[in-house]
Chains A and B, each alone.
Chain A
Amino acid sequence: MIVGLSCGMLASSGCTMPWWQIPELCWLLLGTVLLLGGCWGPETLRSRVAGVSAALFGLMLVLALFFWAPGGEAFGGFYRWDGLSILFKRLFLFGGFIASWMMLRSPDGPVAHRVEYVALPWFAVVAMGLMASAGDFAVLFVSLETLTITSYILVSMERDRGTSLEAGVKYLVMGGLSAAFLVYGIALLYGSCGTLRFDEMAGRLPGALAGDMGPVVRAGLLCVMVAVGFKVAAAPFQWWAPDVYQGAPVPITGFLAVASKAAGFAVLLRLLWGPFGGVRDTLAPMVAWLAAASILVGNLGALSQRNLKRLMGYSGIGHAGYLLMGVAAGSAAGVEAVVYYLAGYAVAALVVLGLLGGLVDRLGGAEMRHLNGLAKREPGLAWLMLVGLASLAGLPPLAGFLGKWMVFAAAFQAGLAWLVIVAGVGVVASLYYYLAPVRNMFFESPPPDAPPLELDLPFRTCVSILMGLAIILGIAPGPFMATIGRLLAGL
C-alpha cells in the first residue's frame, strides 16, 4: 500500500521508471483490496465500501494533480509516462472519483452487488490508464479489452431491470465487433510493418503506405480507426451509445460518458501523434468526416429524446464530433483544445448526471416530465442543472463555450471552415434539446402530490463544486491551459 501510494511521485526523473512505480499497479491493488475487503472484511467496512472507494479515488487524484511529473517509460517502452498520459490519467481518476461519490447516494444500482459495483471502476480506471500509456499495440488491445469487459458488467449490473440488461447485451455485441476490427487492423499493420511497437511503426508506416503493401496498410488503418470510432461513439459507429447510457445506472452513465470517452480520445491522440504520425495527413480527412457525421447524428438525434439519460447519450455523440474536430485539425492547438474540451465536458456532464443520479428516485424517473416544476420545489438544484446544461450547450462564460471556441478556432486554422459551419448547425440544434429540460424545470408546475426532495449535504457539495469548476474553467482558463501546454510540449 505505502509503496503504491508513492507511485508516480518518484518517476519524475530519469528515463526508465521501475515497473513497481507505475500508478496503475497501485490502483489495481486498491481495487483488489476493496473487492476482497468488501467480501471478506468486517460488516463496518462492507457497509462503507463506497465511501472508502471515493476517499481513495480522491487521494489518488490529489497525488496525481500535485506530485506527478512527466518523463520516462517502463517495461522497456511498453508503458509511456509522458504528459499526454498524465493529463488523461488525471481525467480518468476524476471520473472515477465523481462516479464513486455518486454511488454513495445513488439509489439506483444493484443492492446485491454493492461491492462489485464499487470496485469495478477501479479496474476500469487501471485499464484506461494503461490505454493512455500504451507504447505497443499488444498493451493497447489488452487494456482496451479489460476496460470493455469491465464496462459490460457495470452497465448490466442491475439484472432485474430490462433496459439495463438490454444495454449490457448491446454493448457486448458492439464491443465484440469493435474488438474484432481492432485485432484485424492490428494484424494487418503488423503484417505490413513487422512490428507492434508504436515508435518503430511510426518510422515504417509512411514507407509501407507508399510501397506495394499500401492497400493492406490502408485497410489496417481503417480497421483501427473504426475500432476507436466505436470507443468514442462517433457516427456511424454510435448506435450503442444511447441505449447504453439509458440502461446503465446513473453513476455508471456518468463514468462512461466522461472517463470512457476520454480514454477513447487518449488512444486516438496517442495513435495519431505516435505510430500514425507519419500518415496523419492521410487520416485527417477521415477524422473530419467522422466529426461532421457525429455532430449531425448526435445533435439531430437528441432533438426528439424525452429521457434525460438517453439525451445525454445522443449529446455525447455530438460532443465526440466536436472533439474530433480538434483532432482533425492535426495541430498542437487542436490537441490542447481537445484536452480542455474533455475536461469541460466532464465537469458539465457530471453536474447534469450527478443531479439526476441523486434525484432520480424522488423524481420518479429520468424522463423530462419528471423534472416538471423543479425550480419551484428546489430552486437551487434547478439553477445548478441549468448551469450544467448551459455549459454543455456551449454558452459563455462557461467551460463548454471556451472549449468550442478553441476547437472551432483550431479547425478554422487547419482550413476546415466547412466543418465549423456543420458544427454551427449542431450547436443551434443542441440549444433546443438542452433547453427542453429547462422548460420542464422552470416553466411547468410540479405534480400536485410531489414528495419533498431531500438531497444530503455531501451530494449538494459535490455537484456545487463541479458547477464551480465549470465556471472557473470558463472564466479563468489561463492556469489550466498553461498546464496543458506544458505537459503536451513534447508531443
Chain B
Amino acid sequence: MSISPLFVIIGAPLLGVLALLFRVPARLVALGSTGLMCVGALWAAAGLPADGGMYYRQGFDWLDAAGIRVTLGLGVDGFSLPFVMLTCVVALAAVMVTPRNMPRAAEFYACLLLIAAGAAGSFLATDLFFLYVFHELALVPTFLGIGIWGDGPRRVFVTFQTVIYLAAGSIVLLAGILGLLWVLRNASGSAMVSTDLAALRDLAASHAPGAGAQRWVFGFLLAGFGILVGLFPFHTWAPRAYAVAPAPVAMLHAGVLKKFGVYGLIRVGLAVLPEGADAWRGWLLVMLLGNILVIGWATIGQKQLNDMLGYSSVMHMGYLFLGVAAGTNLGLTGVVLLSVGHGLSIAGLFAVSGMVLERSGTLSMGQLGGIASRLPTLGFAFAVLGLASVGLPGLANFAGEVSILFGSWGARSHWAWGPMPALSWGVVAAAFGLILSAVYMLRATQTVFFGAGGSVEVEVRPIPVAWRVAVFLLIGCLLAAGLAPAGLSAAASSGLAEWFGGVGL
C-alpha cells in the first residue's frame, strides 16, 4: 500500500478533527489541514492520466454481509477531480474567512473540517456504500454549524427543517441504493453483489435490469439526490438554511456539498441505469425548469441579501440538472464546469454577505446601501462574484453554462413540442432564466454596494488579511477556470467518456 494524495485529502481534515479534541490552536490546525487538502488536490491533479480514467485506485475489502460485498475504495478520475479541487479550495477559504473571535472556535472548526472531509470522501469514493457514508458524515456538523452559530429568529426551526429534509433525502437515496443492488442481483443471478461502482456499471451493462425495475430505482435515486441538491419542488430547505447558516458553513454547503447530488446522479444514476434515466427525462425537465423559472422569479422578490443568495444558489441547480437531463458528453462536461464555477462564486458571495452582516448588523437590502464607498473591497468582490454567477464571459460559470446549453440543444428527448425537441425548449427557457439572474444579481449589487447610503451605519475597519486572501483566492480560481477552461473541460470530458465507456453519449 503506497501513500497516495487521496489519503492526504481525506486524512488531513479527519486528523485535524482529532487534534482539535486537545487544547491546540484551533485556527492554525484548521488552516493546516485544509492547506494540506489543497496540496493533496494539486498532487492528485498532477498525476491525472491523459485518458482521464480512474487513478490512484486503492481498495480494501471491508465487509461481506447480507449478500453485499463492500470495499473501501478510493480513486479519482477526470470527472471527480474538479469536484475534489473545488472542495479543497472552498474548505480552505471557509476556514480563512471565519472570524478570529469566533465563539467556541475549536468546535466550529471541527464542524467545518468534518463537512469538508465528508464532501471530499464522497467525491473520492469508488464504492457506492462509501459514497453514501461520506456524504452522511457531513449531516451532524451541518446541524451543529447552523444551530449553534447561525443567526436569525427562526434559527432552531430552520436547523431542524434542514437536517430532517436532508435526512429524508438520504434515506430515500439509501432505499434507492439498496433497490439498485437488489435489482442488479436479480438481473445477474449472482449471490453476492459488490458495491464497487465500476463493478456495478459493468454488471448493469452485461445484465441490464428490466425497464420497469430501472424506472422505479432511478426514481428513488432521482428523488434522493434531488432533495440533497434542492431540485424543485424539494428545494424549500435550502434558501432558508443558507440564510441562517454562518458564512463558512453556507460556503461549504452551498458551494461543495450540494454538488454531491448532481455528481452522484451522474456517477451512479446515468451510468448504471440509462433506461431509467430516459424514462424520467421528461419529469426532470419539468422540475429543473421549476428551479430556473419559479425559483428565479422568487429570487427577484427577496428582500434580504442572504435570502437572495440562497435562492439564486437553488436556481442555478436547474442548469446543472439541464446538463444531466441532456446526458451528452458536452452537457455533462458543462455540469462539471458550472459546478466548479458556481461553487467558487457562491462561496465567495456568502463570504461577502457574512462580512456585510458583521459590519452592518443587517442584511436587509432596503436598509443597506453604498457599502462600496466605505469598504471598496467588499464592493469589488461582490461585483465580480455576482457577475460570475450571472455568467459573464471570462469567468468559470460562463464556460459551464455555454457547454450545458449547447450540449442540451437538440439532445435526444422522448417528445417534441412544435418544431423542437423538448430539451431544446428547455434550453430556451434556461436562457431566459439567465436574464432573471442578471436582474436580481445586478439589482443587489446596485442597491447594496453602489447605491446611495443606506439607513444603517456601516462599521469601517480594515478587512482582515485572511478574509481578503480567501476571497481573492476564490476569484483567482474563477478567473483561471474561466479564461482557460480547456484543461478542466478536457479532464472532465475524457473522464466522463472513460466512465461511460462511450455508451449512450
Which residues of A come within 8 Å of B, CB atoms? Answer: 333-334, 336-337, 340, 375, 379, 386, 390, 395-397, 401-402, 405-406, 408-410, 412-413, 417, 420-421, 424, 427-428, 431-432, 435, 438-439, 442-443, 477-478, 481
Contacts of A405 in B (CB 8 A): 129, 174
Q: Contacts A379-B107, A427-B167, A439-B147: A336 and B65 contacting too (C-beta < 8 A)?
A: yes
In the bound complex, do residue B68 and residue A435 qualify as a contact, i.e. CB atoms below 8 Å apart? no
Q: Does B421 contact A (CB under 8 A)?
A: no
Residue pair A412, B182 in contact (C-beta under 8 Å): yes
Enumerate chain B residues within 8 angstroms of A420, measured Cβ to Cβ.
Answer: 175, 178
A374 shortest CB reach to chain B, Å: 13
Chain A residues contacting B133 (CB-CB under 8 Å) are 396-397, 401
List 18 extra interface pairs beyond A406-B66, A428-B167, A439-B156, CB under 8 A: A333-B66, A336-B66, A390-B140, A396-B136, A396-B137, A397-B137, A401-B136, A405-B129, A409-B66, A409-B178, A413-B185, A420-B175, A421-B175, A424-B172, A438-B143, A442-B144, A443-B148, A477-B62
Whole-angstrom distance between the alpha carbons of A424 and B175 in the complex? 8
B179 touches A435 (CB 8 A): no
Contacts A396-B136, A412-B182 hold; do A337 and B143 have CB atoms under 8 A apart? no
List, in ascending order, chain A residues with CB within 8 A of B147's CB. 439, 442-443
The contact sample of 5 A-B pairs, CB cut-off 8 A, is A406-B66, A409-B181, A424-B172, A428-B168, A439-B156
Known contacts A424-B171, A431-B164, A432-B160, A395 near B65 by CB under 8 Å: no
Q: Which of A409, A424, A428, A435 contacts B143 (CB 8 A)?
A: A435
- Tell me how far the C-beta of B51 lies from the nearest C-beta in chain A, rounded to whole angstroms: 33
B163 at the binding interface (Cβ < 8 Å): yes
Interchain CA distance A160-B133 in the complex, whole Å: 48
CB < 8 Å neighbour of A412 from B144, B156, B159, B178: B178
Are A443 and B139 in contact (CB-based, < 8 A)?
A: no
Chain A residue numbers with a CB within 8 Å of B107 are 375, 379
Please give, as numbers and ranges, the residues of chain A lying within 8 Å of B129 by CB-CB distance: 405
Contact indicator B63/A395 (Cβ below 8 Å): no
- Taking CB atoms, residues of chain B closer than 8 Å to A396 are 132-133, 136-137
What A residues does B168 contact at CB under 8 A? 428
Chain B residue with minimal CB distance to A404? B174
A296 to chain B, nearest CB (A): 15
Complex CA distance for A478 and B60, rounded to whole angstroms: 11
B361 within 8 Å of A (CB atoms): no
Contacts of B64 in A (CB 8 A): 481
Given A409-B68, A424-B174, A478-B62, A395-B139 contact (CB < 8 Å): yes
Complex Cα distance, B132 from A443, in Å, reads 28
* CB of A391, distance to nearest CB on chain B (Å): 11
Q: Which residues of B contact A408 (CB under 8 A)?
A: 174-175, 178
Shortest beta-carbon distance, B15 to chain A, in Å?
15
Q: How far is the CA of A379 from the CA of B144 in the complex (A)?
A: 13
- Known: A432-B160, A439-B156, A443-B156. Is A386-B140 also a contact (CB below 8 A)? yes
- Closest chain A CB from B400 CB (angstroms): 31
Which residue from A417, A428, A442 sits with its C-beta under 8 Å from B171? A428
Interface: B67 (CB within 8 A): yes
What CA separation (Å) do A337 and B160 show in the bound complex? 30
The interface of chain B, by Cβ under 8 A from chain A, is: 61-68, 104, 107, 129, 132-133, 136-137, 139-140, 143-144, 147-148, 155-156, 159-160, 163-164, 167-168, 171-172, 174-175, 178-179, 181-182, 185
| C-alpha gap A395/B132 in the complex (Å) | 11
CB atoms of A409 and B156 under 8 A apart: no
A431-B167 contact, Cβ under 8 Å, with A336-B65, A420-B175, A439-B147: yes
A431→B65 contact, CB < 8 A? no
CB distance from B244 to the nearest CB of A (A): 12
Q: Please tell me if the beta carbons of A409 and B136 are within 8 angstroms of each other in the complex.
A: no
**CB < 8 Å neighbour of A333 from B67, B132, B175, B181:** B67
**Residues of chain A with a CB closer than 8 A to B163's CB:** 431, 435
Q: Which residues of B contact A435 (CB under 8 A)?
A: 143, 160, 163
Which chain A residues border B67 with CB–CB below 8 Å? 333, 409, 413
Q: Which residue of B lies closest to A407 (CB)?
A: B66
Known: A409-B66, A409-B181, A438-B143. A432 touches B164 (CB 8 A): yes
Neighbouring B residues of A334 by C-beta, 8 Å? 66
Min distance, Cβ A477 to any Cβ of chain B, angstroms: 6
How many angstroms from the CA of A465 to the CA of B148 in the assembled complex?
A: 27
Distance in angstroms from A327 CB to nearest chain B CB is 14
Q: A401-B136, A439-B147 are in contact. Are A427 and B171 (CB under 8 A)?
A: yes
Instruction: Please measure, in the bound complex, the distance between the C-alpha atom of A396 and the C-alpha atom of B122, giving whole angstroms.
Output: 13
Q: Residues of B contacting A386 with CB < 8 Å?
A: 140
- Rounded to whole angstroms, the CA-CA distance of A477 and B104 in the bound complex is 34
Give Cα A271 to B104, complex, Å: 53
Docked CA distance A421–B220 (Å): 11
Give A408 to B181 CA distance when docked, in angstroms. Answer: 12
Residues of B within 8 A of A428 (CB): 164, 167-168, 171
Residue in A closest to B106 when the chains form the complex, CB atoms: A379
Task: For the complex, give the distance between the alpha carbons of A442 and B139 in Å.
Answer: 15
Question: How many angstroms from the CA of A390 to the CA of B114 in the assembled complex?
Answer: 15
Which single residue of chain B is at the shortest CB-CB distance from A397? B133
How far does the Cβ of A226 sit from chain B's closest Cβ, in whole Å?
29
Residues of B within 8 A of A401 (CB): 133, 136
Contacts of B171 in A (CB 8 A): 424, 427-428
Given contacts A443-B147, A443-B156, contact A412 B63 (CB under 8 A): no
Contact A333 B139 (CB under 8 A): no
Which chain B residue shows the least CB distance to A443?
A: B147
Contact status B66-A337, CB under 8 Å: yes
How far, in Å, is B88 (CB) from chain A's closest CB?
21
B178 / chain A contacts, CB cutoff of 8 Å? 408-409, 412, 420
User: Nearest chain B CB to A486's CB is how many angstroms away?
Assistant: 13
Q: Max chain A CB contacts within 10 Å: which of B136, B164, B167, B181?
A: B167
The 9 closest A-B pairs by CB, nearest first: A409-B66, A333-B66, A396-B133, A424-B171, A431-B167, A410-B66, A396-B136, A428-B168, A412-B178
Q: Are A395 and B174 in contact (CB under 8 A)?
A: no
A402 to B68, CA, bound (A): 12
CB atoms of A395 and B136 under 8 A apart: yes
Name A410's closest neighbour in chain B (CB-CB): B66
Which residues of the other chain, B, contact A409 by a CB distance below 8 angstroms? 65-68, 178, 181
B143 partner residues in chain A, CB cutoff 8 A: 435, 438
Q: Are A417 and B66 in contact (CB under 8 A)?
A: no
Identify the closest chain A residue to B166 (Cβ). A431
User: Which residues of chain A are within 8 angstroms of B144 by Cβ–Cβ distance?
Assistant: 438, 442
Residues of A within 8 A of B137 (CB): 396-397
- Which B residues are CB-close (under 8 A) to A375? 104, 107
* Distance (whole angstroms) from the CB of B343 to the closest CB of chain A: 24
CA distance A431 to B159 in the complex (A): 12
Q: Please state if A406 and B65 are interface contacts (CB–CB under 8 Å).
A: yes
Bound together, the chains give a CA A118 to CA B61 distance in angstroms of 44
Task: Evaluate whether A337 and B65 lie within 8 angstroms (CB atoms) in the complex, with A412-B179, A428-B168, A431-B163 already known.
Answer: yes
**Which residues on B sit within 8 Å (CB–CB) of A410?**
66
CA A395 to CA B179, docked complex, whole Å: 20
Smallest Cβ-Cβ distance to B144: which chain A residue: A442
Q: How far is the CB of A121 from chain B (nearest CB, A)?
A: 32
State in angstroms the CA–CA spacing of A406 and B164 once bound together.
22
Closest to A380 in B: B21
A410 to B107, CA, bound (A): 38
How distant is A24 from chain B, measured CB to nearest CB, in Å? Answer: 31
Name the CB-closest residue of B to A402.
Answer: B63
Residues of B within 8 Å of A477, CB to CB, are: 62-63, 65
A340–B66 alpha-carbon span in the complex (Å): 12
Nearest-CB distance from B164 to chain A (Å)?
A: 6
Q: For A395, list chain B residues within 8 Å (CB).
A: 136, 139-140
Chain B residues near A438 (CB, 8 Å)? Answer: 143-144
Most chain B beta-carbon contacts within 10 A, residue among A334, A386, A424: A424
Residue of A424, A438, A443 contacting most chain B CB atoms (<10 Å): A443
Q: Which residue of B lies closest to A379 (CB)?
A: B107
Contact status A413-B66, CB under 8 Å: yes
Chain B residues, CB < 8 A from A417:
179, 182
